[in-house]
Structure 1
Amino acid sequence: MSKTPQTVASADGTPIAYEVTGDGPPVILVGGALDDRTSVAALAATLASRVTAIAYDRRGRGGSGDNADAFAVRPEIEDLAALIAVAGGRASLFGHSSGGVLALEAAVRGLPVERLAVYEPPFVVGGLRPLPAEGTAERIRTLIAEERRDDAVHLFLTEEASVPAETVDGLRAGPAWPFLARLAHTLPYDVAVCGPDLAVPVDRLATVAVPTLTMAGGASPAWLPAAAQAVAEAIPGASYLTVEGQDHGVLRDPQALRDPLLNFIAPACT
């Protein structure tokens, strides 16, 4: 990948930074909360022998701007539309976590998606985890406005993502925390795309008409595989795959996703 990204203007004029690597059918890699294009860079390199992988900064992150007046889903859909145009007018999407929800939403809204793969979209089904406390989204926005980035990330991870507090405290003391805190101001986008109650939008997903693969890690908490399976059940013809030995941090082990994604996105090339 190049060190200096290219940019494309979204519908509202926001520059969206992206990097392209590889050759073959195009696939846009959509990171989740507290990710930027570097978070999917290793996956892009892993896939590059068979596909054209496009890693990008969701708006407000890395080299991308943010001209939106309010946190909403529509501008992020328009960002994906601009990237699909760069890719030649059609592209497959792979989304991780809330990036998977964004990819699903792009398909629901009729973007020219060739194939759709998502890993652990963080919906909540069957009461398998507590829902965020009422007012959590507003509290996150308030902390961001007050420049209390560390507290905003802590609140998001514990309430919105259901990460145990002791795990978050350990993460906060580690070397990765400053990277997460730098992206804290983008968290309301992830909250917006996942919805206030984190419910699987069954009726809307039933309109998706592109080949779809949902995945979850065999070592993930039960609520994440359950969500991925529920999404697959809601989309006509979709399939579900367990990635054995993996959890929500699968992007740190991109080889685990190589074969599932290449077999699905570019089966003739594997």
Structure 2
Amino acid sequence: MEHTLSRDGTRIAYERTGQGPAAVLVSGAMSTGATVAPLAAALADRLDVTVYDRRGRGESGDTEPYAVEREVEDLAALIEAVGGEASLYGVSSGGALVLRAAASGLPVRRVAVYEVPYAMDDDAARAGAAYTERLTEALARGRRGEAVELFLRLTGLGEEMIGSARQSPLWAGMESVAPSLAYDDAVMGDHRVPRSVLASVTAPLLSLAGGASADWMRAAARTVAETVPRGTYRTLEGQSHRVEPGVLAPVLAEFFAR
């Protein structure tokens, strides 16, 4: 892994592969750069792709206090490291970070996001607010396992599956990045579509959702596309929130290479 320094001195670990226009891939909650590495491999024949560990996870450092602006500065440092201009792709809450970065005025050529989980009604927004409150309390008390469980419930995972996850060898790794759940929650704001932020995104945008995902996911993706001035929406048939790299890569490569 290579490293770059963010504005506040935090070391950000990244890997770069491929040739072509530069693109940076941003992972979502409970993940590292390794999560989007298969997508990077599928894009490497057409793009110069960078994956990185967001602050507070993997091989990247962390500096308190956290603010969404610090993660935007992380992306600014990465864009500078790969040539001063890049396209951005973000999945789930990573897409929310990408949208905020693009709205901030960074040198972003094109933007693509996949299923940013914005609340589409009052009930969902209230559920998001309740999650924020309980997550904050769990992390303040050092209850990392409880924080992970809260997140898994938010994603719709049942209690039996959460119990099985607790017995999995992967659970320790999930607990290790649990504090970063607060970072993704902050990036999501009040969980509603941040219309004023999206209206400030000037780069062309592609908002994607899976045809096998929940209706509200597709509705959120359409709303993002409709709110960004140069936004386009597309459904990837047969795909869910865990989109297959082989399906997504050709779509992103064609959009970013324009």
What TM-score, normalized to structure 2?
0.93
Structure 1 stretches lacking a partner, 5+ long:
none
**Residues 214 and 240 of structure 1 are in contact (CA less than 8 Å); yes or no, is this contact kept in structure 2?**
yes
Change (3 A) 1:232 1:164: farther
Aligned to 2:181: 187
Tell me if 1:168 matches 2:159: no
Aligned to 2:216: 223
**Residues 122 and 227 of structure 1 are in contact (CA less than 8 Å); yes or no, is this contact kept in structure 2?**
yes
Query: What secondary structure does 2:126 align onto?
Result: coil
Structure 2 stretches lacking a partner, 5+ long:
none
Tell me if 1:264 matches 2:255: yes
Greater alpha carbon shift after TM alignment, 118-127 vs 51-60 = 118-127
Shift of 1:164: 4.3
Work out which of the residue numbers 38, 58, 61 in structure 1 matches 2:57. Answer: 61
Aligned to 2:107: 112
- 2:167 and 2:125 map into 1 onto residues whose CA distance is 25
- 1:223 and 1:164 map into 2 onto residues whose CA distance is 19
Query: What secondary structure does 2:4 align onto?
Result: strand
Query: What secondary structure does 1:230 align onto?
Result: helix
- 1:214 and 1:29 map into 2 onto residues whose CA distance is 14
**Residues 205 and 231 of structure 1 are in contact (CA less than 8 Å); yes or no, is this contact kept in structure 2?**
yes
Tell me if 1:154 matches 2:152: no
**Residues 205 and 232 of structure 2 are in contact (CA less than 8 Å); yes or no, is this contact kept in structure 1?**
yes
Change (3 A) 1:164 1:84: same
Please list the CA deviations of residues 51-107 of structure 1 after superposition, one character each: whole Å capped at 9, or x if unmatched: 0110000001111111122x3201000000000100111100000000000000001
Aligned to 2:21: 25
- 1:135 and 1:127 map into 2 onto residues whose CA distance is 12
- 1:167 and 1:200 map into 2 onto residues whose CA distance is 30
Please list the CA deviations of residues 19-60 of structure 1 after superposition, one character each: whole Å capped at 9, or x if unmatched: 001111110000000010110111111100110110000001
Please list the CA deviations of residues 165-191 of structure 1 after superposition, one character each: whole Å capped at 9, or x if unmatched: 444344444454333222111000000
Counterpart mapping for 1:11-90 below 5 A? 11-69=7-65, 71-90=66-85
Quote the sequence identity (%).
47
Aligned to 1:143: 138
Work out which of the residue numbers 240, 243, 254 in structure 2 matches 1:247. Answer: 240
The number of residue pairs the alignment matches comes to: 258
What TM-score, normalized to structure 1?
0.90
- 2:94 and 2:129 map into 1 onto residues whose CA distance is 23
Change (3 A) 1:134 1:200: closer
Shift of 1:205: 1.0
- 1:244 and 1:173 map into 2 onto residues whose CA distance is 34
